[in-house]
Amino acid sequence: MTVDNSENQKLRSITSELGSDESNQTGDDFFDELNQFSDLETIQAVAEEEDKKAEKREGPHLMEKFFSKVISFYKENEFFRYAMWSILLILVSTIALTIVEYDMFKESVMDDVGKTFIFGGDEPNWLDTFFHTFWWSVVTFTTVGYGDVSPVTHLGKFLTIIVMLLNFGVVTLLGGAVASVLVAQRLKGDDTLDENKFNDHLVIAGWNSFVPSILKIIDANHNSISVVILVNEMDTDIMQRAIAGFGFERLNISHIAENFTQEAVLKKAFLEKASALMILPDSSGLLPHEEPDEDKTVLTCLTAKSIAESCNIIAHVINPENVSHLHRANVNEIVIPDDHVPHLLAKHVTDPGVPQFFDDLIVQEEKDKGLQEVAIPKSLSGQTHNKISAFFKFKHNWLLVGYAIRKAGFSLEDQMGESGTPLIRSMIKEQLDGAGISLTNDEHVMVEINPKDDYIIDEKHRALVLR
């Protein structure tokens, strides 16, 4: 199997547009060379496999999706749960009483309504009677009890007793749920977050004007994290107002209104289960002229690493003096805002257009557009860069510009290898483990931009593509 005809034609037309006869020749050669990849079939097979997986990912039918959402909402939302039970109880009591006390409710509806009925014309039919019974059920259930109609038979009365007793419990629980929702909203932050909801989430420690923009970009990337916990001392109401206008589509954002430098607070944000912690210069609780205290960033990094050593920590610092402290605290990545400014300024003079390109690429990033990191199909591990590049081009029409490689900064275990006496190696491991020192230094992301064609890709590589 080779590339299908339409793609062939597209490629040929692209390559033929290279200009002169000579370049046409070059383009054709390139095309032929591309088609002669022994693994092109593999790439096509992988592309098809990816399509199938994507179809599978689209998941079950819409109705199934709807029901699964309702079920999960039912399980999570106490208020909804009791409301559903109330409705069920009303319906059951209505049906039971309509059957048992049909004559009584029929007569009653005739007395109440007169001679014109919605469903039955001059004579009330079972639907009119059912509606009248439903009216009785709601009046009874809500404890209003007008008394305009009541059961007559012993069985009807007996059923009513059951309904009233059950109603007693359900209404109490429903009232409690309403009250708890109101109280929870009054409370500062989600003090008791449900641990089950948090896994591989993002924790953002600190608040400043960047946070909404950060969340907006994360929200736009559909393959990225969707659960975020904000930890800062900002008033929850103010913070909610600050982010409300952005109307995030995917993000599920929770807030803990406490001091993020404290171990207990970070644990409350389930840091040990988080995939990343972002520490920002914290402006919450500061007066307009006050500068954020960056010591908090270093302290938080130290605390976080003691709780979750493998957590990917990204720190944003304003003062470059703190960089060395953060390195000592084993931060994974550091962002220094002014680091790129001299380059951008100089490029305006040396290469006009380049800074604008960066602006378009990064700042004005649209939904699912721009530079993004995406996974490489596992089956392509071990292939060369030009084949991976061809895969993304054919499959998605994305331009592969480089790779993000997650590597341990230094691994003592790798360094020692099989050298020396096994006893000494195991003793070193035991002693360091005992002292709580991991043999592997924290992972960092390295970037390989536009590597050579024969550069081999392994499973630690993720593609950086221009979409």
Partner 1 sequence: MNPTAEQIQKINYFSKVPQNLCAQIAAVVEVQDCDPKEQLLTEGDTGNTMVLIFQGQVEVSKNMMVKTATGITTSRKPIIRLETTDPPPASEPVIKPTVSVVQAPAFGIGEFSLVLDDAIRTAHVHATTSVKYGVLKLDDFSNIVKDNPEVGGSVYFEVAKSAVQNLATASADISNLTQAFFFALTR
CB of 430 to partner 1, least distance (A): 8
By CB neighbour count within 10 A (0-12 exposed, 13-18 middle, 19+ buried), where does 413 fall?
A: middle
Query: Closer to partner 1 at the Cβ: 222 or 328?
Result: 328
Q: Does 425 bind partner 1 (CB under 8 A)?
A: yes
Query: Closer to partner 1 at the Cβ: 356 or 441?
Result: 441
Token readout for 54 is: 């994507």
Q: Work out which of 139, 177, 428, 445 binds partner 1, going by CB under 8 A.
A: 428
Q: Identify which range of 167-175, 213-221, 238-246, 426-434 contacts partner 1 by CB under 8 A.
A: 426-434
Sorted by sequence, the CB contacts under 8 Å of residue 198 that are 6+ apart come out as 227, 229, 269, 270, 273, 274
Q: Does 310 bind partner 1 (CB under 8 A)?
A: no
Q: Does 409 bind partner 1 (CB under 8 A)?
A: no
Q: Identify which range of 21-29, 94-102, 234-242, 422-430 contacts partner 1 by CB under 8 A.
A: 422-430
Token readout for 393 is: 């081009």
Assign 3-class secondary structure to the chain.
CCCCHHHHHHHHHHHHCCCCHHHHHHHHHHHHHHHCCCCHHHHHHHHHHHHHHHHHHCCCCHHHHHHHHHHHHHHHCHHHHHHHHHHHHHHHHHHHHHHHCHHHHHHHHHHHHCCCECCCECCCCHHHHHHHHHHHHHHHHCCCCCCCCCCCCHHHHHHHHHHHHHHHHHHHHHHHHHHHHHHHHHCCCCCCCCHHHCCCCEEEECCCCHHHHHHHHHHHCCCCCCEEEEECCCCHHHHHHHHHCCCCCCCEEEEECCCCCCHHHHHHCCHHHCCEEEECCCCCCCCCCCCCCCHHHHHHHHHHHHHCCCCEEEEECCCCCHHHHHHHCCCCEEECHHHHHHHHHHHHHHCCCHHHHHHHHHHCCCCCCCEEEECCCHHHCCCEHHHHHHHHHHHHCCEEEEEEEEEECCEHHHHHCCCCCHHHHHHHHHHHHHCCCCCECCEEEEEEECCCCCCECCCCEEEEEEC
Q: Does 307 bind partner 1 (CB under 8 A)?
A: no
Query: To which residue do tokens 């693994």 refer?
Result: 39
Query: Closer to partner 1 at the Cβ: 132 or 325?
Result: 325
CB of 409 to partner 1, least distance (A): 11
Q: Work out which of 118, 437, 447, 456 binds partner 1, going by CB under 8 A.
A: 437
Query: Closer to partner 1 at the Cβ: 435 or 449?
Result: 435
Q: Does 424 bind partner 1 (CB under 8 A)?
A: yes
Q: Does 431 bind partner 1 (CB under 8 A)?
A: yes
Q: Identify which range of 44-52, 333-341, 353-361, 430-438 contacts partner 1 by CB under 8 A.
A: 430-438
Q: Does 415 bind partner 1 (CB under 8 A)?
A: yes
Q: Work out which of 113, 181, 427, 447 binds partner 1, going by CB under 8 A.
A: 427
Ramachandran angles phi, psi of 423, nearest 5°: -60, -45
Return the residues of window 268-297 that contact partner 1 according to CB under 8 A. Answer: none
Q: Work out which of 54, 352, 422, 454 binds partner 1, going by CB under 8 A.
A: 422
Q: Work out which of 110, 171, 299, 416 binds partner 1, going by CB under 8 A.
A: 416
Return the residues of window 327-346 that contact partner 1 according to CB under 8 A. Answer: 330
Q: Identify which range of 89-97, 137-145, 182-190, 432-440 contacts partner 1 by CB under 8 A.
A: 432-440
Query: Closer to partner 1 at the Cβ: 288 or 417?
Result: 417
Q: Work out which of 338, 435, 452, 453 binds partner 1, going by CB under 8 A.
A: 435
Q: Does 410 bind partner 1 (CB under 8 A)?
A: yes
CB of 330 to partner 1, least distance (A): 8
Query: Closer to partner 1 at the Cβ: 59 or 409?
Result: 409
The number of CA neighbours under 13 Å toward the Cβ of 2 is: 14
Query: Closer to partner 1 at the Cβ: 249 or 430?
Result: 430
Q: Work out which of 1, 62, 423, 449 binds partner 1, going by CB under 8 A.
A: 423
Q: Work out which of 179, 382, 420, 458 binds partner 1, going by CB under 8 A.
A: 420
Q: Does 36 bind partner 1 (CB under 8 A)?
A: no
Query: Closer to partner 1 at the Cβ: 45 or 427?
Result: 427
| Residues contributing to the site for partner 1 (CB under 8 A) | 330, 410, 412, 415-416, 419-425, 427-428, 430-432, 434-435, 437, 439
